[in-house]
């Protein structure tokens, strides 16, 4: 049985606002095996990006991590010093951030940006070795060697995204967190970029956490999928099961609302609105919109537990 | 009408934007953040009080020549001293400050008024009209302004009154406002809500007045303060050169007499200190006000939530 | 057949620069007719750079075509009198993509509803106007007392988009041009808003032109579909045909790249790393030729005409040269025959 490479335990993250502390990540726990692809799906405001940034301790004020542990192998990242954490980032956990195409330095050539990342992590190589490493990295992500000398504005969206993947891979991390890496890309380019990511991940034997809201992308890419709602994990299951036998009512309604390309049907949205994070409903956070809610749901928050082998959900009805 | 969209089941709550506290509390809290605005307003209010109370307490007729003994340094009787031609300098400041400000205001208002109209028309309708206006403004801005003003002032045969002075300065005051307002409107007209307004049947002038203008008000206010500032500077410049209204006790004219009589060399320090001090307060006040208004006008801050 | 809105061989070229003019062809030779008697839902699908946003603005009369004409009830938009424009604005309305940009931040959301009521005299008195607005808000599932009086930033994106739908309802237009109406809205609300559009079509006979990059929603809502690639129509026809059996190589590429939200893994074969070639503006051949796996000699020479491969489908591809080409006068009218 493959060991867990990453374990998040009871993570609690607040945002401090003028009206008080708002819970953005509400006691979330999950684990990630080496080489596995885990998806974190949720709509806007569900806390998925906050979760991704918190794992890497990249959260800026007014966000703050209030409690919880993040175990990378057997090191609790929350206990590391700022400098030690900096070393862990990129070398062991890499982030492909949202809008990463815009996080490339516009006045530096691609090769300089990769070299920068290597140097920053104390990798001592001669100039020629760095050039070789850059060449290999670019080839790995499917970019022509000439790209090394180009500036970001000379590349297309897909190429920039692949350059960001190259930077993320440069130190061969164990875990890659990709936060909506393809949201600005065309469907065809999206597939190419995701295939590149998949290939690299296999080569590295790294684990991937894909954060996003495109359920189709999740369905085609990840092994296991976690569904987030209002800062909580409501379900985590193998991705096939999510689509064939969803456990949590929110997951069920979400799947039902997705437009299919197989046949025409009716439009079934989820009535109501996600709750404002500063005014979460008591009991189960989904109960105001849940068609199956009973009295217990209004007062008692359900536990997140293993309902079937490998399938976790938080619902009183299961 | 039959419902076509399911009910939002929970009562629709406003999404986290800050709940609106009392207006006064919010206003005060804003003042604390925008210190420039407060400082600017304080300086200008102080000046207004000086002029207002001054008019009640001081005899402004003493601002005319030969009304009091000459060249007295500041004393209890003449707090600002007197000048060589027998003017009570306190009375001169009290009488002259509003004149200078009036010139600035009229010129500034005219300049921004014309600039707003031209800027809006130019930016909203584009095309040949825009090219024409923009070309005119760009050419006008390359000509040294003070030079033009001097030529105008010199060509007018008779000596100027305060109001005529304002018009002379206003003749160039509209150039910069046209340019900056045009730039702002150019960016605003691409907004989604302008297109929606067009599709809702609004006409060009209606869109300019109802959709664009309200969003530009803080910017226009900042531009106005700027224009007033420049106008005052231009008028003082002209007056110091002797091209202003000779009989009026404006700040610039006082400086002209200071120059004419070599007050600096002669050691009559109270004579030049008073007008310079007031000018300093005026400009500092206007400057801080501009900075404060700019902060309000800055879209990053204006776009709420 | 009387047409409500028609685009005839519309081309839009954007040029910039004074000395060194370089131009982009945003849309080329596009034709489409919307029948005024039989309401329909037509989807226009394309990726970024396909010209779909330009198309929306041309159809709404916000920009003028470089070549060709946009006709409203037979009259050219560019030469219409004021009264005709007023009628046009009443009959053809819009739902834009960005639910924040369309609101003037200076006003409360009431403003966006009050303006059309006033301009088109939809109500005879203030009370009647209030009642009308309350009615349309309720129809889109919003409570008037909680929506009116608020500023745009106080409502969520989904609520703001619902208000835009309500605004469109106010006018009871004959045609709504919906430019990516749900792409900036959460997944769970998307189905709701699209359902509302379909209900508006079925119950009030409103035609819809649904512009999007999302084939799945386009498939679900529309009867007919037009696929755009870099400003040109590559395939058009009945949506079941085009989606289930795509004939143009680009449509086929598109369909195979879409990640399906299902338990079945369809992303099985690698697409390969072909990048979009930069064809110089004005090159003569088919726009897809540099990415096409089936490219042939004629593809480089001239843009293929629309071949009528089936009764309810046209494809712009030389692979189908054996089928009759659509006559120039008929382009755009291929949807006006009943599809079912």
Identify which of B6, B9, B15 has the shortest CB distance to residue A288.
B9
Q: What is the pLDDT of residue C281?
A: 47
Tokens of B258: 């200071």
Q: What is the pLDDT at residue B157?
A: 65
- pLDDT category, C337, cuts 50, 70, 90? very low
Give residue C273's pLDDT: 45
Tell me if A15 is assigned to some domain: no
* Partner-chain residue, chosen from B12, B13, B18, that has the shortest CB–CB distance to A279: B13
Chain A, window 71-130: residues with a beta carbon less than 8 angstroms from a chain C beta carbon? none
> Contact at 8 Å (CB) between C293 and C256?
no
**pLDDT value of residue C330:** 62
For Cα atoms C329, C332, C333, give the angle at the middle one, nearest 5 degrees: 80
Distance CA A248, CA A253 (A): 9
Distance between CA atoms of C236 and A119, rounded to whole angstroms?
A: 53
Query: What is the average pLDDT value for chain B, to the nearest integer?
Result: 83
Q: CB distance C273–A259 less than 8 Å?
A: no
Confidence of residue A218 (pLDDT cuts 50, 70, 90): very high
Asked if C79 reaches chain A (Cβ–Cβ under 8 Å), the answer is no
Output the CA angle A290-A294-A297, nearest 5 degrees.
Answer: 75
What strand order describes the sheet that includes A175-179? A93-96, A175-179, A207-212, A37-41, A224-229, A232-238, A311-313, A305-308
Per-residue pLDDT, B300: 54
Residue A68 has pLDDT above 50, yes or no: yes
If pLDDT is split at 50, 70 and 90, which confidence band does C332 have? low
pLDDT at B173 (0 to 100):
87
Which position has the token pair 């009716």? A266
pLDDT given at position A21 = 86
* A247 vs A134: CA distance, rounded Å: 46
CA dihedral A159, A33, A258, A161 (to 10 degrees): -10
Q: For chain B, what are the domain ranges?
A: 46-302
The distance of A246 to chain C (nearest Cα, Å) reads 11
How far apart are the C-alpha atoms of A148 and B252, rounded to whole Å?
64
Asked if the structure places residue A293 within a domain, the reply is yes
- Residue with the bigger pLDDT between A7 and B14: it is A7
Residues in chain A: 318
Q: Minimal CA–CA distance to B75: which of B247, B270, B296?
A: B270
Interface of A with C in 198-237 (CB under 8 A): 213-221
Using an 8 Å CB-CB cutoff, list chain C residues near B195.
Answer: 62, 96, 102
Nearest chain A residue (CA) to C222: A264
**Between A and B, how many residue pairs show a Cβ–Cβ distance under 8 A?**
32
Please name the residue of chain A whose CA is at the shortest distance from the CA of residue C263. Answer: A240
Confidence of residue A224 (pLDDT cuts 50, 70, 90): very high
Confidence at B26, pLDDT banded by 50, 70, 90 = low
At residue A37, the pLDDT reads 95
Contact C217 A259 (CB under 8 A): yes
Size of interface A-C (CB pairs under 8 A): 131
Report the residue from A18, A277, A289 with minimal CB separation from B9.
A289
* Tokens 């030049």 -> residue: B272
- Closest chain C residue by Cα to residue B211: C104
Contacts of the segment B200-206: beta carbons below 8 A, 24+ positions apart: B200/C89, B200/C112, B200/C115, B200/C116, B200/C119, B201/C86, B201/C89, B201/C90, B201/C115, B201/C116, B201/C119, B201/C120, B202/C115, B202/C119, B204/B124, B204/B125
* B240-269 average pLDDT score: 86
Looking at the DSSP assignment, which residues form a beta bridge with residue B126? none
Among C198, C255, C263, the residue with its CB nearest the CB of A244 is: C263
Evaluate if residue C170 carries a pLDDT over 70. Answer: yes
Asked whether the beta carbons of residue B5 and residue C196 sit closer than 8 angstroms, the reply is yes
Alpha carbon of residue C261 to chain centroid: 24
Would you call A271 and B7 a contact, using CB atoms and an 8 Å cutoff? yes
Q: Which of B134, B197, B199, B212 to mutate to test the interface with C (most CBs of C within 10 A)?
A: B199
| Beta pairing, strands C22-35 & A4-17 | unpaired
Please, are residues B220 and B212 in contact by the beta-carbon 8 Å criterion?
no
Mean pLDDT of C198-215: 92
Residue entry with tokens 């359902």: C195
Those residues with Cβ within 8 angstroms of residue B300's Cβ, 6 or more apart along the chain or in another chain: none
Joined together, the tokens standing for residue B248 give 């009026």
Contact state of A43 with C186 under an 8 Å Cβ cutoff: yes
Task: Give C4-50 pLDDT, tens digit per residue.
Answer: 999 999 999 887 766 666 778 889 889 999 988 889 999 999 988 78
Tell whether domain B46-302 is in CATH 2.60.40.3880: no
Cα distance from B190 to chain C (closest Cα, Å)? 10
Task: Give the integer Cα–Cα distance in Å for A149 and B264.
Answer: 65
From the centroid of its chain, how far is CA B302? Answer: 22
Check CB contact under 8 Å for A273 and B10. yes
Residue range C133-146, pLDDT digits in tens = 999 998 888 889 88
Residue C251, pLDDT > 90, answer: yes
Best CA proximity match to C218, nearest among C208, C230, C229, C210 = C210
Residues of C in Cβ contact (< 8 Å) with A290? none
Q: CA C304, CA C82: separation in Å to the nearest integer?
A: 39
B11, B196, B303: residue with CB nearest C112: B196
Instruction: Compute the Cα dihedral for A233, A237, A239, A241 and give only its sign.
Output: negative
Residue B7 pLDDT > 70: no
Give A205 or B244, the one with higher predicted confidence: A205
| pLDDT for res C133 | 93
pLDDT at C17: 64
Reply yes or no on whether the pLDDT at A96 is more than 50.
yes
Query: Has residue C272 got a pLDDT over 60?
Result: no
Phi-psi bin for C68: left (phi > 0), alpha (psi -120 to 50), beta?
left
**Chain B: touching chains (3 or more CB pairs < 8 Å):** A, C
Contact B8 A17 (CB under 8 A): no
Please write the tens of the pLDDT for every residue from B189-204. Answer: 888 899 999 888 888 8
- Run of H or E residues at C165: helix C157-171
How far apart CA C132 and CA B66 sit, in angstroms, is 76
Look at residue B285 and tell me whether its pLDDT is greater than 80.
Answer: yes
Q: Name every chain C residue with its beta carbon within 8 A of the beta carbon of A288.
A: none
Task: State what percent of residues in chain A have pLDDT above 90.
Answer: 46
Using a CB-CB cut-off of 8 Å, the residues of chain A touching B16 are 17, 19, 22, 276-278
Chain B positions with Cβ closer than 8 Å to C? 1-8, 11-15, 17, 191-193, 195-202, 211, 214-215, 302-305
Ramachandran angles phi, psi of C151, nearest 5°: -85, 155
| A298/A172 Cα distance (integer angstroms) | 47
How distant is the Cα of A168 from the closest Cα of chain C, in angstroms?
20
Q: For residue B178, give the nearest of B141, B209, B211 by alpha carbon.
A: B141
pLDDT digits (tens, 9 = 90+) for B47-89: 999 888 888 888 878 878 888 888 888 888 888 888 888 888 8
Q: Chain C 171-190, CB below 8 Å of chain A: which residues?
A: 186-190
Question: What is the mean predicted confidence (pLDDT) over C216-226?
Answer: 93
Most C CBs within 10 Å, among A187, A196, A245, A249, to test the C interface = A187
Q: Exposed, middle or buried: residue C210 (CB in 10 Å: 0-12, 13-18, 19+)?
A: buried
DSSP codes of every residue in C253-293 = HHHHHSPPSSSS--TTS---------PPTT--S-TTTTT-T
Per-residue confidence (pLDDT) for residue A284, from 0 to 100: 92
Per the document, the length of chain C is 340
Query: Is the pLDDT confidence value at B153 over 90?
Result: no
DSSP symbols for C2-32: -EEEEEEEEEEEEEE-SSS-EEEEEEEEEEE
**Residues C186, A229: Cα–Cα separation, whole Å:** 12
B141 contacts B175 by C-beta, under 8 angstroms: yes
- Read off the pLDDT band of A287 (50, 70, 90): very high
- pLDDT one-digit tens code per residue, C58-76: 999 988 999 999 999 989 9
Residue A273 lies in a domain: yes
What's the DSSP call for residue C81?
Answer: -
**CB contact residues (below 8 A), chain C span 240-299, against chain B:** none
- Identify the residue among B10, B15, B305 best suited for mutation to test binding to A, counting A beta carbons within 10 A and taking the highest: B10
Select from C195, C234, C259, C292 the residue whose CB has the most chain A CBs within 10 Å, as the one to mutate to test that interface.
C259
Partners of A239 on chain C (C-beta within 8 Å) are 263
Q: How far apart are CA B141 and CA C279, in angstroms?
A: 43
Mean pLDDT, residues A90-102: 83
Contact flag A269-C189 (C-beta cutoff 8 Å)? yes
pLDDT-derived band at B295 (thresholds 50, 70, 90) equals: confident
DSSP-assigned states of every residue in A141-155? TT--GGGGG--GGGS
List of chain B residues whose C-beta atoms are within 8 Å of the C-beta of residue A20:
none
Hey, what are B250's tokens? 């404006």
- Tokens matching residue A96: 């492909």
Residue of higher predicted confidence among B7 and C198: C198
Q: Which residues of C touch B202 (CB under 8 A)?
A: 115, 119
pLDDT of residue B18: 45
3-state SS track over A38-85: EEEECCCCCCHHHHHHHHCCCCCCCEEEEEEEEEECCEEHHHCCHHHH
**What is the average pLDDT score of chain C?**
86
Overall average pLDDT of the B23-35 stretch: 70
Per-residue HEC secondary structure of chain B comes to CCCCCCCCCCCCCCCCCCCCCCHHHHHHHHHHHCHHHHHHHHHHHHHHHHHHHHHHHCCHHHHCCCCCCCCCCCCCCCCCCECCCCCEHHHHHHHHHHHHHHHHHHHHHHHHHHHHHHHHHHHHHCHHHHHHHHHHHHHHHHCCHHHHHHHHHHHCCCCCCHHHHHHHHHHHHCHHHHHHHHHHHHHHCCCHHHHHHHHCCCCHHHHHHHHHHHHHHHHHHHHHHHHHHHHHHHHHHHHHCCCCCCCCCCHHHHHHHHHHCCHHHHCCHHHHHHHHHHHHHHHHHHHHHHHHHHHHHCHHHHCCC
| Residues A130-168: tens digit of each pLDDT | 899 899 999 888 888 889 999 998 888 888 888 998 988
The DSSP call for residue C304 is P
Task: Indicate the number of domains in chain A.
Answer: 1
Q: What is the mean pLDDT of residues C272-278?
A: 48
Find chains touching chain C: ≥3 CB pairs under 8 Å.
A, B
Chains contacting chain A through 3 or more C-beta pairs under 8 A = B, C
State how beta strands C67-72 and C75-76 pair: antiparallel
* pLDDT classification of C271: cutoffs 50, 70, 90: low
A163-167, B150-154, C282-286: lowest mean pLDDT where?
C282-286
Confidence of residue C279 (pLDDT cuts 50, 70, 90): very low
C-alpha A140/C-alpha C262 separation (Å) is: 30
Which residue range(s) make up the domain with A262? 245-318
Q: Looking at residue C269, what is its pLDDT?
A: 67
């Amino acid at each position: 049985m493959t060991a867990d490479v990453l374990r998040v335990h009871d993570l609690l993250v607040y945002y401090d606002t003028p009206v008080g502390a708002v819970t953005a990540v509400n006691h979330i726990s999950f684990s990630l095996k080496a080489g596995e692809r885990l998806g974190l799906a949720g709509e806007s405001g569900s806390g998925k990006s906050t979760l991704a940034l918190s794992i890497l301790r990249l959260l800026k004020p007014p966000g703050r991590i209030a409690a919880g542990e993040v175990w990378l192998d057997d090191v609790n990242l929350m206990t590391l010093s700022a400098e030690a954490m900096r070393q862990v980032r990129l070398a062991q956990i890499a982030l492909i951030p949202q809008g990463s195409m815009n996080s490339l330095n516009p006045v530096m050539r691609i090769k300089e940006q990769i070299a920068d990342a290597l140097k920053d992590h104390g990798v001592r190589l001669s100039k020629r070795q760095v050039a070789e490493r850059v060449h290999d990295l670019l080839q790995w992500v499917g970019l022509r060697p000439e790209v090394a000398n180009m500036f970001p504005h000379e590349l297309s969206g897909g190429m920039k995204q692949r350059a960001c993947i190259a930077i993320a891979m440069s130190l061969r991390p164990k875990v890659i967190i990709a936060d909506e890496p393809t949201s600005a890309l065309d469907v065809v380019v999206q597939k190419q970029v995701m295939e590149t990511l998949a290939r690299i991940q296999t080569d590295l034997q790294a684990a991937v956490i894909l954060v996003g809201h495109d359920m189709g992308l999740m369905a085609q890419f990840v092994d296991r999928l976690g569904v987030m709602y209002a800062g909580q994990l409501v379900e985590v299951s193998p991705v096939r099961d999510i689509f064939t036998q969803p456990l949590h009512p929110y997951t069920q309604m979400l799947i039902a609302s997705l437009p299919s390309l197989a046949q025409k049907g009716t439009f079934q949205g989820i009535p109501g609105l996600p709750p404002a994070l500063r005014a979460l409903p008591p009991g189960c956070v989904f109960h105001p919109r849940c068609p199956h809610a009973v009295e217990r749901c209004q007062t008692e928050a359900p536990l997140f537990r293993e309902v079937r082998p490998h399938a976790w959900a938080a619902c009183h009805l299961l | 009408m039959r419902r076509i969209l399911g009910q939002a089941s929970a009562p629709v709550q406003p999404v986290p934007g800050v709940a609106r506290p009392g207006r006064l509390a919010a206003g005060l809290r804003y003042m604390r953040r925008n210190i420039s605005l407060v400082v600017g307003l304080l300086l200008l209010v102080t000046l207004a009080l000086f002029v207002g109370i001054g008019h009640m307490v001081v005899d402004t007729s003493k601002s005319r020549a030969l009304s009091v003994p000459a060249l007295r340094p500041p004393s209890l009787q003449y707090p600002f001293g007197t000048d060589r031609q027998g003017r009570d300098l306190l009375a001169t400041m009290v009488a002259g400050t509003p004149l200078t400000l009036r010139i600035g205001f009229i010129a500034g208002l005219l300049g921004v008024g014309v600039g707003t109209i031209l800027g809006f028309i130019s930016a909203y309708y584009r095309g040949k009209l825009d090219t024409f206006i923009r070309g005119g403004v760009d050419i006008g801005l390359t000509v040294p302004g003070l030079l033009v003003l001097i030529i105008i002032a010199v060509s007018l045969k008779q000596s100027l009154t305060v109001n005529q002075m304002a018009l002379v300065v206003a003749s160039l005051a509209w150039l910069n406002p046209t340019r900056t307002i045009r730039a702002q409107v150019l960016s605003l007209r691409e907004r989604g809500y302008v297109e929606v307004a067009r599709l809702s049947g609004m006409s060009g002038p209606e869109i300019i007045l109802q959709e664009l203008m309200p969003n530009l008000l803080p910017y226009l206010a900042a531009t106005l303060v700027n224009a007033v500032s420049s106008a005052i500077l231009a008028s003082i410049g002209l007056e110091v050169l002797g091209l202003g209204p000779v009989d009026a006790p404006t700040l610039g004219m006082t400086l002209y007499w200071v120059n004419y009589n070599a007050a600096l060399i002669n050691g009559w320090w109270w004579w030049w200190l008073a007008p310079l001090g007031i000018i300093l307060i005026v400009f500092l006040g206007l400057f801080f006000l501009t900075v404060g208004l700019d902060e309000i006008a800055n879209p990053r801050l204006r776009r709420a939530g | 057949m009387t047409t409500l809105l028609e685009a005839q061989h519309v081309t839009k070229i954007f040029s910039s620069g004074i000395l060194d003019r370089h131009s982009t062809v945003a849309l080329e030779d596009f034709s489409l007719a919307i029948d005024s008697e039989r309401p329909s839902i037509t989807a226009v699908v394309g990726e970024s750079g396909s010209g779909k946003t330009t198309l929306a603005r041309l159809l709404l009369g916000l920009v003028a075509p470089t070549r060709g004409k946009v006709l409203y009830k037979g009259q050219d938009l560019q030469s219409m009198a004021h009264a005709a424009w007023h009628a046009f604005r009443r009959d053809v309305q819009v739902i834009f993509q960005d639910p924040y940009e369309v609101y003037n931040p200076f006003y409360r959301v009431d403003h966006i509803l009050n303006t059309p009521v006033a301009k088109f005299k939809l109500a005879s008195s203030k009370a009647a106007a209030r009642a009308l607005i309350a009615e349309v808000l309720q129809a889109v599932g919003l409570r008037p007392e909680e929506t009116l009086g608020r500023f745009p930033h106080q409502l969520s994106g989904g609520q703001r988009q619902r208000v835009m739908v309500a605004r469109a309802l106010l006018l009871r237009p004959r045609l709504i041009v919906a430019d990516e109406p749900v792409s900036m809205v959460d997944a769970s609300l998307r189905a709701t808003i699209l359902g509302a559009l379909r209900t508006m079509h079925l119950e009030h006979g409103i035609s819809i032109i649904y512009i999007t990059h999302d084939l799945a929603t386009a498939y679900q809502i529309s009867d007919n579909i037009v696929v755009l690639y870099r400003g040109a129509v590559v395939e058009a026809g009945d949506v079941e045909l085009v989606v289930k059996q795509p004939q143009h190589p680009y449509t086929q590429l598109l369909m195979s790249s879409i990640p399906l939200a299902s338990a079945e893994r369809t992303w099985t074969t690698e697409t390969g790393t072909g990048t979009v070639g930069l064809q110089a503006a004005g090159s003569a051949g088919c726009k897809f030729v540099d990415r096409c796996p089936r490219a042939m000699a004629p593809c480089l020479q001239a843009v293929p005409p629309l071949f009528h491969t089936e009764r309810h489908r046209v494809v712009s591809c030389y692979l189908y040269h054996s089928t009759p080409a659509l006559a120039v006068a008929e382009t755009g009218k291929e949807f006006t025959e009943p599809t079912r």
